[in-house]
Amino acid sequence: MNIGFYPGCSLKGTSSEYAQSTLALAKFFDIHFTEIRDWNCCGATAAHNLNHELSVALPARILALAEQQGLMEIVVPCAACYNRLSVTQYALNKDLVLKDRLSDTLQMPLSGNIRILNVMQFIEKYIAGRIEEKISKPFAHKVVCYYGCLLVRPYNILRFDRLEDPQSMDALMQKIGATALDWAYKTECCGAGFSVSRTDVVAKLSGKIVKDAEDREAEAIIVACPMCQSNLDMRRPHIDSYLHTKTHIPVMYITQAIGLAVGIKREELGLKKLFVAPAFVD
């Protein structure tokens, strides 16, 4: 099975553990990824606020490269990258003049037919039906699933899950033995790209998310976005300062949680790279 893979900047840098766990999970289920050759940054998160055509050209080039490689489907684990590629494909298919202009600029054809999958869609399509038979140690923990802003918005374009109360991640966690708690912060903003320029804003927004998760006695926050994971995990000292208390809840990628349940070694899942280590992992 050969599927295209777009890691984006985060998975090659600050969130390498997300790439590590995603690739380990795919390997475990005998799925082969073909990384898009010569890929570039998708423009997240600021390009679309600065130059509209550039913000479309950057993801368009990625899609054109994937098509050039003969890929019909690509997996995009980063929620921001998934959002930018999906929104761009939608925009190009709606504006054929822009599509032709960019195709000419890039000197590559753009059919606009490639299927873009986020990590949940990939797991649901290729892995979910086989997970339960592969479980060696159920992930028997209480968790809250955090989807963030970009995985489900804008709904009229992405058409992925429910807008205010998404359920796909919850269902996958329940499948591996977890108890997915109901909570009100599933799609609240963590502060996103303000992580460097306005750490105080991130501390406030992410602090509310972390506090609510701990108040509900969750043992982990499960995410599918490197920016969300970074803000909730790496910015924990700022969050604790804002909350005036020490918080202990870990923030794990869904690929890491599923990987643990099916018996993939923690070293292969990049768990040691988390700032707040999950106490329940041996």
- Alpha-carbon 6 to chain mean position: 12
Asked if 237 and 245 count as a contact pair (C-beta separation under 8 A), the reply is no
Q: Which domains, ranges and CATH numbers included, belong to the chain? A: 2-119 (1.20.1050.140), 133-273 (3.40.50.11810)
Average pLDDT of every residue of the chain? 94
User: pLDDT grade, residue 103 (50/70/90)?
Assistant: very high
* Residue 98 predicted with pLDDT over 80: yes
Averaged over 79-83, what is the pLDDT?
A: 94
Averaged over 261-267, what is the pLDDT?
A: 96
* Residue 45 predicted with pLDDT over 80: no
Q: What would the two tokens of residue 98 be?
A: 């822009």
Q: What would the two tokens of residue 56 be?
A: 């479309």
Asked if 192 and 151 count as a contact pair (C-beta separation under 8 A), the reply is no
**Which pLDDT tens digit goes with each residue over 109-148?**
999 999 999 999 999 999 999 999 999 999 999 999 999 9
**Global pTM?**
0.95
Give exposure, 15-46, as e/b (b: 16+ Cβ within 10 Å): bebbbbbbbbbbebeebebeebeebeebbbbe
Question: How much of the chain exceeds pLDDT 90, in percent?
Answer: 85
Question: How much of the chain exceeds pLDDT 70, in percent?
Answer: 97
Distance CA 247, CA 215 (A): 11
Please name the amino acid found at residue 221: I
Per-residue confidence (pLDDT) for residue 229, from 0 to 100 = 96
Q: What would the two tokens of residue 89 be?
A: 């494909």
* Residue 1 predicted with pLDDT over 60: no
Averaged over 245-261, what is the pLDDT?
A: 98
- Alpha-carbon 46 to chain mean position: 18
* Residue 27 predicted with pLDDT over 90: yes
Per-residue confidence (pLDDT) for residue 72, from 0 to 100 = 95
Distance CA 233, CA 229 (A): 6
Averaged over 50-59, what is the pLDDT?
A: 87
DSSP string, 56-113: HHHHHHHHHHHHHTT-SEEE--SHHHHHHHHHHHHHHHH-HHHHHHHHHHHTS-----
Per-residue confidence (pLDDT) for residue 2, from 0 to 100 = 67
User: pLDDT grade, residue 192 (50/70/90)?
Assistant: confident
Distance CA 57, CA 46 (A): 14
Averaged over 53-62, what is the pLDDT?
A: 93
**Which pLDDT tens digit goes with each residue over 229-243?**
999 999 999 999 999
Asked if 191 and 205 count as a contact pair (C-beta separation under 8 A), the reply is yes
